[in-house]
Amino acid sequence: MADETALLPLGFAAIAEAAVDFPCGFIVAEEANVFSLRGGARAECVHPVWRIGSVKAESYRFDSSTGTIGVGDLYAEEERNFLVNLDVPVVNGVVSDPMSLLKVRCVYRDPVTKETVGLSSSSEVKILRPVAKFCVRGRELLYRYCSEHGIAHRKIGKLVVATGSSDIPKLDLLMHLGTQNGVSGLRMLEGFEAMRMEPELRCVKALLSPESGIVDTHSFMLSLVGQAENSHATFSYNTVVLSGRVEEEKMHLFVAETGSVESRCEGVVAELELIPNLVVNSAGLGAQALAKRFHGLGHRFIPSSHYARGCYFTLSGAKSPPFDKLVYPIPEEGGLGVHVTVDLNGLVKFGPDVEWIECRNDTSSFLNKFDYGVNPQRAERFYPEIRKYYPKMDRWNLVAQASVPRLPDRDRRQQTLSYRERRLMEFLFL
Side-chain half-sphere exposure of 93, counting CA atoms within 13 A: 2
Instruction: Render pLDDT for 383-426 as a digit per residue (tens, 0 to 9).
Output: 889 999 999 988 768 888 766 655 554 333 333 233 333 334 44
**CATH number of 42's domain:** 2.60.40
CA gap 401, 383 in Å, rounded: 15
What burial letters (b/e) apply to 322-332, b meaning 16+ CB within 10 Å? bbebbbbbbbe
Mean pLDDT of 293-301: 81
Q: Which of 316, 312, 309, 311 is nearest to 398 (CA)?
A: 316
Instruction: Report the pLDDT value the prediction gives residue 414, as an integer from 0 to 100.
Output: 33
For the chain, the first-to-last Cα distance in angstroms comes to 55
The reply to whether 239 falls in a domain is: yes
Q: What is the pTM of this model?
A: 0.63
Tally of domains within the chain: 2
Q: Which of 301, 298, 297, 303 is nearest to 243 (CA)?
A: 297
The reply to whether 39 falls in a domain is: yes
Residue ending a domain, among 111, 127, 143, is 127
Among the ranges 20-29, 53-62, 213-222, which has the highest mean pLDDT value?
A: 213-222
The reply to whether 199 falls in a domain is: no
Among the ranges 45-49, 102-106, 189-193, 264-268, which has the highest mean pLDDT value?
A: 189-193
Residue ending a domain, among 104, 127, 150, is 127
Residue ending a domain, among 127, 157, 172, is 127
Mean pLDDT of 14-43: 40
Mean pLDDT of 16-34: 33
Instruction: Report the pLDDT value the prediction gives residue 276, as an integer from 0 to 100.
Output: 92
The reply to whether 241 falls in a domain is: yes
Instruction: Report the pLDDT value the prediction gives residue 249, as an integer from 0 to 100.
Output: 81
List all residues 6 or more positions away from 85 whose beta carbon is below 8 Å from its beta carbon. 14, 15, 16, 17, 52, 53, 54, 55, 56
Task: Give the domain range for residue 20.
Answer: 2-127
CA gap 307, 417 in Å, rounded: 13
Mean pLDDT of 132-146: 88
pLDDT > 70 in the chain, percent? 58
The reply to whether 292 falls in a domain is: yes
CA gap 376, 268 in Å, rounded: 38
